[in-house]
Amino acid sequence: MTEIREVSVDELRHLVSDRARSGETMLLNMGPQHPSTHGVLRLLLELDGETVVSCIPDIGFLHTGVEKNMESKNYQQAEVMTDRLDYLNPIGNNLVYSLAVEKLLDLDVPERAQVIRVILAELTRINSHLVWVGTSALDLGAMSLFLYAMRERELILDIFEMCAGQRMMTTYVRPGGLWRDVPVEFEAAVRDFLALMPARLDEYERLLNNNPLFLERTSQIGIISKEDCLRYAATGPVLRAAGMAYDLRKARPYSGYETYDFDIPTETAGDVRARYLVRMAEMRQSLRIIQQGMDRLPYGPVRSNNRKYVPPPRSEIGVSMEALIHHFKLWTEGFSAPQGSVYATIESPRGELGVFLESDGGPKPYRVHFRTPTFPNLQIMPLLSRGHFVADVVAIIGSIDIVLGDADR
């Protein structure tokens, strides 16, 4: 454990302007323990009165060593780590990791598993956006919306729980398919949710869209252009709110997204309000995708039949010696992946989530790297907050929807 020590302005001279060194501007430390930094982000703000001159994000307070830890686990065990990266998008993290492993092994995924993956990934997107709308509206003083959004979130978590037995860290999507089939109650629960949610989204929009306080706090705040987004590699709703219809579900489809009919919501203003509108519209599009998925949900297996990589069903183990051997081998030493490196991406609620997997031919990944969307998105913080008031920094942090577990890994 490192000791806390005072840092003089002189040591920060490469970060702050000369005005701060002469004492003309003030340095304000925001975080890591601050209710509006959505986790443990630290911002070093240089202020001229109430106006932000520069903003320096300091990350790493949640550095967990996930990537390194995954190298010491075999492929199945390492997946457990991925849930905890971006803890608002656990199924998406499982999905991207599974996609990478499947690409490495050239593993097939049954149709039913593909559809369930899409349904769950979209439910996770709604879940993440609900937490986002609740907390960022809470930061702007809209308390009741938080309670409403968390109420709807519980419905989604109930669905996850009936599938995986866990509310958040499901590890449900596995290489080669799913852990197990969804229970019979799944369909009714999702259909109930689909019937309920549009009215609830209307309710949120009634509370916020024309709320003068909300408009005042979000319009023309934290503007970013499309070019700057591309320059900083910012993706997801941040990029789409700046006017570029870039969504990996369309640009580089995975899990059969190319067969679903949905739109990419965009805005052109590029401010906090535009990002809010994009996310609200995205939730409606996700509902559309889930509806289509439910309508086409086929029957069949949810796990690949390739026994060298995917464990056999429990029922086979008692009657088949071969199944028992496969089960034993897979759960003791794991499977060995062929040598090579792969990169797989998905559209997470925050943007492009990619995983790079390098295999040396053994049962453990040689190197895992996550290209997480929060990290590049956070880089635009100095650009967005320059010239705004301190109170607006709160709105801007909320609008880029950071998850520190995602940035720090």
Question: Look-up: residue for tokens 């870039």?
Answer: 246
- 165 is an interface residue for other proteins by CB under 8 A: no
How crowded is the C-beta side of 407, counted as CA atoms within 13 Å?
Answer: 24
User: CA 86, CA 320: separation in Å to the nearest integer?
Assistant: 39
**Which amino acid belongs to residue 68?**
K
Apex 256 CA angle, 252 and 262, nearest 5: 80
> Could you say which of 117, 125, 153, 327 contacts other proteins (CB under 8 A)?
153
If binding is defined by CB under 8 A, does position 284 make contact with other proteins? no
Q: In this chain, which stretch among 31-39, 248-256, 290-298, 327-335 interacts with other proteins, using CB under 8 A?
A: 31-39
Contact letters for other proteins, residues 93-132 (x by CB under 8 A) = --------------------------------------x-
Minimal distance in Å, beta carbon 251 to other proteins?
29
Closest-CA residue to 199 (of 115, 268, 283): 283
The answer to whether 341 contacts other proteins (rule: CB under 8 A) is: no
Candidate list 147, 196, 213, 251; residue touching other proteins; CB under 8 A: 147
Query: What are the φ and ψ backbone dihedral angles of 359, each rounded to 5 degrees?
Result: -120, 135
SS3 237: helix
Per CB under 8 A, the segment of 66-74, 272-280, 367-375, 387-395 that binds other proteins is: 66-74
Closest approach, Cβ 215 to other proteins, in A, equals 26
Residue count, binding to other proteins (CB under 8 A): 40
Chain-centroid distance of CA 233 in Å reads 16
Beta strands 51-58 and 177-178 are unpaired
- 190, with CB counted inside 10 A (0-12, 13-18, 19+), is buried
Please select the residue that binds other proteins; options are 50, 65, 202, 203, rule is CB under 8 A. Answer: 65
Give the binding site for other proteins (CB under 8 A): 1-4, 32-35, 39-40, 60-66, 68-69, 80-81, 84, 87-88, 131, 135, 146-148, 150-151, 153-154, 157, 167-169, 404-405, 408
